[in-house]
Structure 1
């Protein structure tokens, strides 16, 4: 992927660690300039140092803070060519036990945060710009004990399609990636539970869970020169999970 994003600059949210940090590294390797937004200010600064880019500690549900950070990034880079809305949280609880506060916070971060960041960036984005929203197979399948998470990820898919339809006239492509179960520090407990690990393996046709590197090709492609006519799509990177029954 070396050179695929040469000359392009943009923002990846939630990139202090996990999937976002991995994507940021892939984008830099492909030649892009990357700014990291993350509620973890120290982690964002560390990622920026490692990537040779910019890092801002920002709660993406705070529209004023997002606007200020995006303005500074646009000024520093001179242009914004892509936005990857990756930041997200997950609360696991049975439907009847799910707290209202956790429901509202999940909607704020996973859905409203992406809306806020998209508005701030797209106002500064020229034709040819790309937005990639990180959804989930939980937005395609109804997963157990994840009512708020599944709802927000389905919302991300709906937002992606609506944005693509409306922003096409500005020459901006908007797509979503729907990861399957990806091994990160946040999902570590899954893989330490052998019964659940086997459940994952048995539901994934490729017979394994995903690594963050499995998402690199899709994200770079959607922000690169080969995807000029791709918009409003949801690309599930899940080892084939949604082709079957789920769990």
Structure 2
């Protein structure tokens, strides 16, 4: 078995898969399996391409360098210049490149939003209030099972003193304290980051303590369920400009 044949055929096969999945993504049909296939075959293509360059280094050098003068051939300059123009244009977000990048999706979908999104504000508010209500009830009654149904055990938690921990490390101890007091959570507003993430901002009050705390919860949708994956509480003065619910 010839290694050069194996490498060349590997490059060709990886290219065909990349081209197919790339076109699907370009035309807005990039499902999760398609995107993962594109990513993995991109890695395989790079590996195969490295071996292909090594095997054909002499030929590539001959294509790019004039043997008589030792200068660079225009056949090398033209593709290099085109690659540079595209790289700079995309990095600088030049309008023509932005339109070109979205032309495929516009051709297939037009101005219609992607199926399943974006979330309406009514849906965002409903998800936020439902999740927060379950969280507060579980938190205040020390119902661990219900709590983990809406909070990821690996959720990052940062309290008002700046201490950082995970859900499994921090929440059980806080629940013991919460069960002895009547804490109240008020959702001030909820914003959709995208179809799978919602940011919830609210106020935490306690009748036994006149001081208020502001909190923010990051909700993530996974397996058709919404869970809190990040929690932060802070004093109102440490978050200037954050609205506080009026009483």
* TM-score, structure 2 as length reference: 0.21
Instruction: Point out the structure with the larger strand share.
Output: 2
Of structures 1 and 2, the one scoring higher in RCO (CA 8 A, sep 6+) is: 1
Larger CA Rg, structure 1 vs 2: 2
